Amino acid sequence: MMFCPKCGSIILPKKEDGKIVMACSCGYRDKKESDGKIKEEVKNKSAEIEIIDKNYSGDILVEIECPKCSHQKAFFWTIQTRASDEPETKFYRCEKCSHTWRDYK
């Protein structure tokens, strides 16, 4: 997908004078001729998720029931996993069985 360097809109193929050119609605025209086909190009195939410390147990011990073993205490921490206008995601890790779960509330 090509974007206009002037306004940032998507540049689409248009037929002008019997030739197909890539043009924007703002008036920008790409100097190269095109075959009229839109080609897909993937630049970054995979984004890796970095695990900082998978044995992180949290800092605060709270009273909450583990959904796996029903133990009543778990470590608690928060991470901003969504947009900044959304609340943080709460993570819990059971003190007894180390089961980890999250709470979006």
For 4-62, write each residue's pLDDT tens digit.
Answer: 888 888 888 887 777 778 888 888 887 765 555 656 666 666 666 666 666 665 578 99
Whether 86 is a known active-site residue: answer yes
Domain assignment present for residue 67? The answer is yes
Whether 48 is a known active-site residue: answer no
| Contacts (Cβ under 8 Å, ≥6 apart) of 18 | none
pTM: 0.45
Domain assignment present for residue 4? The answer is yes
From the candidates 65, 86, 88, 103, give the one annotated as an active-site residue. 86
CA distances from 82 to 17, 79, 92 (A): 49, 9, 17
* 36-61 residues labelled b (16+ CB within 10 A) or e (exposed): eeeeeeeeeeeeeeeeeeeeeebeee
My answer on whether 99 and 65 are in the same domain is yes
* CATH code, 81: 2.20.25.10
Question: What is the spatial distance between Cα 86 and Cα 5, in angstroms, rounded to a whole number?
Answer: 32
* CATH code, 4: 2.20.25
What pLDDT is recorded for position 14? 80
From the candidates 85, 88, 95, 103, give the one annotated as an active-site residue. 85
What pLDDT is recorded for position 8? 85
Kindly report the backbone phi and psi dihedral angles of residue 93, in degrees, each rounded to the nearest multiple of 5, phi listed first. Answer: -130, 120
Split into its structural domains, the chain has a count of 2
What pLDDT is recorded for position 15? 79
Q: Per mean pLDDT, which range of 15-19, 78-82, 99-103 is the poorest?
A: 15-19
What pLDDT is recorded for position 86? 82
Is the confidence at residue 74, as pLDDT, over 80? Answer: yes
Domain assignment present for residue 47? The answer is no
My answer on whether 64 and 99 are in the same domain is yes
Domain assignment present for residue 50? The answer is no
| Domain that residue 89 falls in | 60-103
